[in-house]
Amino acid sequence: PPDRLTPAHRDAMDAFRRARGTEIFGPFIPLLWSPDAMSRIAAVGEYLRLRSVFPPRLSEFLILITARHWTQQYEWSLHCPIAIAAGVEPAVADAIAAGRRPPQMSGEQAILYDVCTEMLRTQDVTHETYARAFAAFGEKGIVDAVAIIGYYSLLAMVLNTARTPPVPGGPTLAPLPR
């Protein structure tokens, strides 16, 4: 509530507005309870969204896999339309939503799918997957891919903890069996 905002909250909100050109939204609302954390996390997101080695069709692909892993409704409802607009095939998004490996991925997507799912399921990647990722994207690409997975995992945890609802009218995820 506005009457509970401290100068640190207001400074963090102003910095966010300047950097993103919009009011705080989604995960940045609960993150605002820790203004310094919110500002630093938002800065990481700025790099990953605008300057990582991956074009949006690949970074959004990683975001979808991460959102599915966490069954994060807000991330999915926001990023699924963005991913499709960026070039992720709707059938690929549908398979990810259903918890299945998409059969019709590009070669780049297949490598990133393996990096992402191995990291999220086993907290590691095999030597074979690392070698394929290195050949396709180099060391910087591997770091950027893992950073995207980690960043959106962090946001998913914040959003799930805060019980943030999906974007109104956006697509949602069905629960997967555990």
* % of the chain exceeding 90 in pLDDT: 94
Mean pLDDT of 30-53: 94
Rounded distance, CA 51 to CA 37, Å? 21
- Rounded to the nearest integer, the mean pLDDT of the chain is 96
The number of CA neighbours under 13 Å toward the Cβ of 160 is: 13
Mean pLDDT of 80-99: 98
Mark 74-88 as b/e (b = at least 16 C-beta within 10 Å). Answer: bbbbbbbeebbeeeb
Mean pLDDT of 30-45: 95
Burial (CB count within 10 angstroms: exposed 0-12, middle 13-18, buried 19+), residue 96: buried
Look at residue 178 and tell me whether its pLDDT is greater than 80.
no
Rounded distance, CA 33 to CA 75, Å? 20
Q: What is the pLDDT of residue 57?
A: 97
Q: What is the pLDDT of residue 147?
A: 98
Q: What is the tens place of the pLDDT at every residue in 114-164? A: 999 999 999 999 999 999 999 999 999 999 999 999 999 999 999 999 999
Rounded distance, CA 117 to CA 66, Å? 8
- Which of the four pLDDT bands, split at 50, 70 and 90, describes residue 39? very high
